[in-house]
Amino acid sequence: MMADHKKKSDTVETITLTSKIVQALWRQQMVMEEKEIDFEVFTEFVGNSSKIEIKVKDKNGKTVTKTDGKVFGNYYAGTVTIPKKTKEEVTFTAKLPRHGIEKESNTAKVIPPVEVKNQKWSQMQARRGDVLTLSADIENVPEDTAVKIFIFEFDRDGAHDLIARFPTTVKKKKIEVEWEYEYHEDTDEIPTEEELQEYGNHYNPPEYFWMIGIGKERFGNEERPGLLTFKDWIDLDLAGDDGLPAANAEYTIYLADGTEQNGQLDADGKARIEDLPPGRFRVYYPSLER
């Protein structure tokens, strides 16, 4: 808000701006004992390098931890670790000692260390349009607690891509949520075995893992629940020069992973081959060379 200038334009007026703490916020709604939680403080008309003190209290008003720092750009943020056996919930007070002002934060729930078991996919291979169930057993999380699901495309160099994020709720110490698999990229861009061998690497299909977000913590990796693998399909349709179906013609498909598949078209000159490694492929029909 701008201060009003009430005097003439050729006079000097001294205006005193009132410093204030606008907001003091936990960035997570829940934190586990002995884990970190983030906070932030927004101020107004507070000079850079002004000292700020943060005091964290439990539900009984007992101080459990504290920290301090300096305000810059009317903002201060940090992280504190919540001690073991902290009672039920925490708030913090942000204080500007030089200005003589303080403000209390919102409340964050404190829970014991969480234990996640039986985290799994309902199947370990996915085709376009498959609906998978993601499930896990969760201990020490209150009933109806909202948690987040993060699904990543696995990268062998560790640069995993987040492809989906959505909420779910803990019910009877368990989460269970459905997710429809789709592959939106161009499979022609997946490097083939032949291309990768030039660099000493090998073909790898798109693979995925998922994590559970509870407060600031994440549970799950490529080993648990394991990697979900994308499987694709190919439709073949062959006709002769006369326009008639190439009934029962034999074929060989050279696949992206360096393997081959042999088969035979049906009486209509068609075939659908499923559960294939996604990527570029070539089809050879011996009958075309006769």
Whether residues 101 and 126 share a domain: the answer is no
Q: Which residues contact 20 (CB under 8 A, 6 or more apart)?
A: 43, 44, 45, 101
Q: Residue 258: what pLDDT?
A: 97
In this structure, the number of other CB atoms found within 10 A of the CB of residue 267 comes to 8
Using one digit for the tens of pLDDT, what is the confidence trace for 47-104? 999 999 999 999 999 999 999 999 999 999 999 999 999 999 999 999 999 999 999 9
Whether residues 71 and 44 share a domain: the answer is yes
Residues of the domain holding 219: 115-230
Whether residues 105 and 36 share a domain: the answer is yes
For the segment 116-130, the average pLDDT, to the nearest whole number, is: 97
For residue 227 the two structure tokens come to: 């990697």
Q: Is position 211 within any domain?
A: yes
Q: Is position 201 within any domain?
A: yes
Q: Is position 8 within any domain?
A: no
Angle in degrees, CA 39, 44, 48, rounded to 5:
80
pTM of the model: 0.86
Using one digit for the tens of pLDDT, what is the confidence trace for 57-66? 999 999 999 9
Using one digit for the tens of pLDDT, what is the confidence trace for 157-199? 899 999 999 999 999 999 999 999 999 999 999 999 999 999 9
pLDDT at 37 over 70: yes
